[in-house]
Structure 1
């Protein structure tokens, strides 16, 4: 069994349900939590979590939940995770606050992929679950929506500074999501009659005075134009101070930002670039793919048409020093980049990705980069040219002038390594992947 990590949840859009409700642990944790689990078991359906995780994993059961709560319990509260590794994947983080200052039940539920909620039948379960939880555990505000689109709203700050949003919370209707729960205080601030007359797919008053509002029948269709128009109308109804055209324009811009962009990376960097999109926030991924599609690497300049003759007296000692440098790089990075042990073209792409992902040139001082990383990387790059392209070293006393002859050209791996490690952008402009593929074209 595997759990959905934050990185996993960023790969594909998911339905994100955030719920913070009242929780009275003074009545006993189990009796207070039973209605929560009853609602989950009754309405989750095909996305019901299958196991419970704290320091260990257990197959889902009420008893497993009670044990997990006790394992993580302290004077302030307890927390646990409920997961489902099968499709659809589920991550439900549950935190319980036991102190009088911060009593509460906090839920962070993600169901992936969002496309699971393309049919209204699947959405009815989430609506029923929200209704049950909001009726039992009074929440000031809760919502379920596309994770990607939520990111574009700047939730939970909505443009406010940290101190302000942490102090005020969701004190007015900053944004409407696919599913919304408004607590009595928010309802009264808007006006109960106005709230209940909102033009939406579902508007329902709950027994405790909260209101459940669902904008559209299906969660997965939030970005369609009809759904956006409905979202704008409902928002402006609840916030008459807003301009409908401006709200709708913003929503359409968000939909455009999330519209799929087909990757069309330049072939000389495609092995590297194809691994990058998942590292961007899902809300900005399509824009980044478009930027990467437009990237055109400049042809490598680190080559010569004719080799400078070797000027070293003891070539075997120089090659041995290069081997030591290369082995030092392998020793340093073999855990993060296992393929580095093989010295293949794929290992160069893995290094490109690792250095870019970790912002390597920005993490270390120039003394470290110039004195250790760049020489080691140059030696390793040269070794790959020798082993995989049949290259031969042409050694020079000045290390940066040392060359590897491949076919009709000689290549300068140490010079490439220096330019490569100048900045985070240079990792793209001077990738190891591109350098190798260009050299391979001249192999005879």
Structure 2
């Protein structure tokens, strides 16, 4: 599967319409295991196909030909297997250059070499879940990219709290609770841990919103008017519940704060920036925000 993806199968550089029309009109690639249909075998030449240098060449009852290039699938990306693959391909396609084919195959093998994850510790729980979303052929490259990612330091905090300017703090705090409960009600099926209100719940939310490409998939008025405020209320609630924080409500939602230790944090402002784009879900993750607040709790 990984090798097939790297080779651009099944289109092999053709647009979808051309690929659907022409199908496998010639041998674009050979892999560890291949079955060539009768029509393709006749097009290439049955004698040529049956004389392919390979681990196993077997003519099937319907006129197809089974071609196995290497004894085991596990070794398909080894250099020896790539040399055998290049020889078979050039045998079946004499118009191709062996060195060029082999160089391409070696590049594909290099793309599959495991890369050790070395993610930034503040966002490692979030980033570690992203590679599995990508095709197998892209995962190692994606891990290497994420290893270099360094999230900006959170700016949504103040050294001194703004005093509350609301007439009825209890009613405002109840409205924050309603916003948070609305988020839980909307997402508890897709993100079951949201009901636990833990730091891990924030990471699960990060991954959910990123995987869904939520900021760019849904209408901006829905996000700004409903989702971002609900995320801010939920985030602030976790700072209160898990870090012993205290709400300092303000008339302007983005000025509302949670006091934790010597700092006051602005969860609604963080949520608005967080919901700006898919990239901002990484740059302004909920996971990192909580860890930064936790670090300054004392």
Larger helix share, 1 or 2: 2
Aligned equivalent of 2:119: 265
Partner of 2:262: 408
Aligned CA-pair RMSD: 1.3
Report the secondary structure of 2:136's partner residue: coil
Equivalence map 1:202-221=2 (5 Å): 202-221=56-75
1:132-180: per-residue Cα shift (whole Å, max 9, x none)? Answer: xxxxxxxxxxxxxxx1111112222111122222122111111111122
- Report what 2:96 is aligned to: 242
* Candidates 16, 32, 45, aligned match of 1:191: 45
TM-score by length of 2: 0.96
State the secondary structure of the residue aligned to 2:106.
helix
| 1:358 is the counterpart of 2:212 | yes
My pick for the range that moved more, 384-393 or 213-222, is: 213-222
- Offset at residue 208 of structure 1 (A): 4.6
Q: Separation in 2 of the partners of 1:393 and 1:326?
A: 14
Give 4+ residue runs of structure 1 displaced > 6 Å after superposition.
Answer: none
1:24 maps to: none
Give me the whole-angstrom Cα distance separating, in 2, the residues matched to 1:208 and 1:364.
51
The Cα offsets for residues 388-437 of structure 1, whole Å up to 9 and x where unpaired, read as 00111122111111111111111100000000000011001100000000
Change (3 A) 1:403 1:198: same
Is the contact between residue 59 and residue 65 of structure 2 (CA under 8 Å) also seen in structure 1?
A: yes
Whether 1:335 and 2:189 are equivalent positions in the alignment is yes
SS in 1 for 2:161: coil
Deviation at 1:195, TM superposition (A): 2.1
Ranked by relative contact order (alpha carbons within 8 Å, sequence separation 6 or more), the top structure is 2
On the 8 A contact 2:3/2:31 being kept in 1, the answer is: no
Question: 2:242 is paired with a residue of what secondary structure?
Answer: helix
What is the rounded CA distance, in whole Å, between the counterparts of 1:211 and 1:367 in structure 2? 58
- Matched with 1:285 is 139
Give the unaligned 5+ runs of structure 2.
none
SS at match of 2:264: strand
Q: Which runs of 5+ in 1 are unaligned?
A: 1-146
Residue 130 (structure 2) aligns with: 276
Output the TM-score relative to the length of structure 1: 0.65
Cross-structure match for 1:39: none
Report the Cα offset of residue 280 of structure 1.
Answer: 1.1
Matched with 1:169 is 23
SS in 2 for 1:283: helix
1:43-96 residue CA offsets vs partner (Å, 9 max, x unmatched): xxxxxxxxxxxxxxxxxxxxxxxxxxxxxxxxxxxxxxxxxxxxxxxxxxxxxx
Q: Alignment partner of 1:383: what SS?
A: helix
- Which of 18, 33, 39 aligns to 1:179? It is 33
Out of 371, 375, 385, which is 2:239 matched to?
A: 385
Aligned partners of 1:184, 1:404: CA distance in 2, in Å?
A: 71
8 Å contact from structure 2 (residues 55, 71) kept in 1: yes
The equivalent of 1:440 in structure 2 is 294
Q: Deviations over 1:200-258 (max 9, x none)?
A: 22223345543322111111111000100110111011111111111111111111111
2:147 aligned with 1:316: no
